[in-house]
Structure 1
Amino acid sequence: MDWSGAVWRKSSRSGSDGGSCVEIATDPAGTVGVRDSKVFAGPVVVVAAAEWRAFLAGVKGG
């Protein structure tokens, strides 16, 4: 999958110091790409939208 044209969003919990950050993007099919914001050309982990929502619910739930 080509994520070169994706619009990436940085985590709202990321600091402004340029440290460790996670970015996500979605494609038209609704899959979610996750990458390290410091490695733009690095690997992208791709998950289904339902899996991403379950992950977020788990994180928010503690």
Structure 2
Amino acid sequence: MTSINLADARWVKSRHSGNGGNCVEIAPDFVGVLPVRDSKDPEGPALVFPADAWRSFVAGVQAGEFGTV
């Protein structure tokens, strides 16, 4: 597996994020992958997903496949 340097990543918080602190941020400027992190812990770890897998996950959330939280 190739390591991805996230030191200069531009992190973006979802426009759907509320003020309750349950937010994720993505770094959209990488080709083929999408880094995701907890906005409450910006120095903590990031998960890196294949871009296609992330798009499928988001589509599932939008379609209500995971119910409500």
Identify the TM-score tier after normalising by the shorter chain: 0.7 to 0.9
Name the count of aligned residue pairs. Answer: 61
Question: Scaled by the length of structure 2, what TM-score is found?
Answer: 0.77
Highest Rg: 1 or 2? Answer: 2
Question: Is residue 50 from structure 1 mapped to residue 58 from structure 2 by the alignment?
Answer: no
Runs of 4+, deviation exceeding 3 Å: none
Q: Give 3-state SS (helix, strand or coil) of 2:27's partner.
A: strand
Select which of 6, 11, 21 maps to 1:8.
Answer: 11
Consecutive unaligned residues of structure 1, counting only runs of 5 or more, are none
Q: 2:22 aligns with which of 20, 28, 35?
A: 20
Q: Percent identity?
A: 51
Which one scores higher on RCO, CA 8 angstroms, separation ≥ 6? 1
TM-score (norm 1): 0.85
Counterpart in 2 of 1:61? 63
Q: In 2, Cα distance between the equivalents of 1:5 and 1:30? A: 17
